[in-house]
């Protein structure tokens, strides 16, 4: 199990951090140790207090991670890597993530639990991740909703002006809605979406191109190798989203 950044990954991340206006890198070796400790937590899913002493003080790592999440460092990192995306076509999908009981009980100062993308689906206490990837399966945009929310709710959260560059958007029938199809038509983007069985009149779609949607499912499978993504332990949505985003950045650096 790989629990440390490779030299290539570290150099790419360091280059980004040195140019970020809200990050004080400090000593490079200590910053790398912090990211290695974060990777250990993310991969093992262990409690912060279980961080081995040779990886640093758990409270120091935790506080720095929370600070970077609040400053949007991980989302900015993903945005930088996404500049190199292949916009031949895009794929969107969602996946329901089981939430551990420790994720319950967000404080009222944070808006309460109902504001933290948590709910109850058929799978129980859960959150839902919504993702958009490029033609090569690299992540571009991420969003969270409560586990019981419909897939279609995620589309406005994933939509960006740059989507107009793509020739098509690939999605499963969970995104079959007239308003989504109309938005894509206005953007000049082909909707490669199978129609639901409840439609009175079937809608044709490019079945060969639809097969390329497997890349978004592969991406979801890759980030679920990280235990902190596979199961949500965090009370606050921004904290869980930061783990998901960092894991997505590592997909770009694989």
pLDDT in tens, 67-96: 999 999 999 999 999 999 999 999 999 999
Q: What percent of the chain has pLDDT over 70?
A: 99
Domain count, the chain: 2
In-domain check, residue 1: no
Tell whether 99 and 39 lie within a shared domain.
no
Q: Evaluate whether residue 249 is within a structural domain.
A: no
Q: What is the mean pLDDT of residues 121-130?
A: 92
Rounded Cα gap, residues 58 and 217, in angstroms: 33
Is 78 among the domain residues?
no
Strand intervals (E) in the chain: 90-99, 119-121, 124-133, 139-146, 168-170, 190-192, 231-232
What average pLDDT does the segment 168-196 reach?
95
Same domain, 31 and 95: no
Residue 2 has pLDDT above 90, yes or no: no
Q: Phi/psi at 166 (nearest 5 deg)?
A: -70, 150
Whether 129 and 194 share a structural domain: yes
Tell me the C-alpha distance between 12 and 215, whole Å: 24
Beta strand pairing call for 139-146 and 190-192: unpaired
- Give phi and psi for 31, each to the nearest 5: -65, -40
Binning pLDDT at 50, 70 and 90, where does residue 110 land?
confident
Judge whether 38 lies within some domain. yes
pLDDT at res. 112: 80
C-alpha triplet 132, 75, 231: angle, nearest 5°: 70
pTM comes to: 0.95
56 and 23 assigned to the same domain: yes
Find the mean pLDDT for residues 247-254: 96
Q: Which domain holds residue 18?
A: 7-71
Predicted pLDDT of residue 1:
56
If pLDDT is split at 50, 70 and 90, which confidence band does 12 have?
very high
Specify if 194 maps to a domain: yes
- In this structure, are 27 and 129 located in the same domain? no
Confidence of residue 123 (pLDDT cuts 50, 70, 90): confident
Give the mean pLDDT of 12-24: 95
Same domain, 90 and 207: yes
């Amino acid at each position: 199990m790989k629990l440390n950044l490779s030299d290539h990954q570290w150099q790419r991340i360091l280059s980004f951090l040195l140019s970020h206006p809200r990050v004080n890198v400090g000593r490079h070796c200590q910053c790398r140790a912090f990211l290695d400790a974060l990777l250990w937590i993310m991969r093992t899913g262990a409690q912060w207090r279980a961080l081995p002493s040779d990886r640093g003080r758990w409270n120091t790592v935790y506080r720095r991670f929370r600070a970077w999440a609040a400053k949007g460092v991980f989302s900015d990192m993903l945005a930088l890597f996404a500049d190199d995306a292949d916009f031949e076509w895009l794929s969107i999908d969602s996946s329901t993530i089981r939430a551990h009981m420790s994720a319950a009980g967000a404080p009222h100062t944070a808006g309460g639990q109902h504001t933290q993308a948590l709910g109850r689906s058929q799978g129980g206490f859960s959150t839902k991740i919504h993702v958009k990837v490029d033609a090569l399966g690299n992540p571009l945009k991420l969003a969270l909703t409560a586990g019981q929310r419909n897939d279609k709710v995620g589309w406005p959260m994933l939509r960006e002006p740059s989507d107009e560059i793509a020739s098509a958007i690939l999605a499963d029938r969970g995104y079959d809605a007239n308003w989504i199809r109309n938005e894509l038509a206005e953007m000049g983007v082909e909707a490669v979406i199978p129609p639901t069985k409840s439609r009175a009149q079937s809608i044709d779609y490019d079945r060969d191109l639809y097969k390329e949607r497997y890349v978004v499912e592969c991406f979801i499978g890759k980030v679920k190798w990280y235990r902190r993504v596979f199961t949500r332990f965090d009370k606050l949505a921004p904290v869980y989203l930061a783990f998901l985003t960092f894991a997505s950045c590592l997909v770009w650096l694989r």
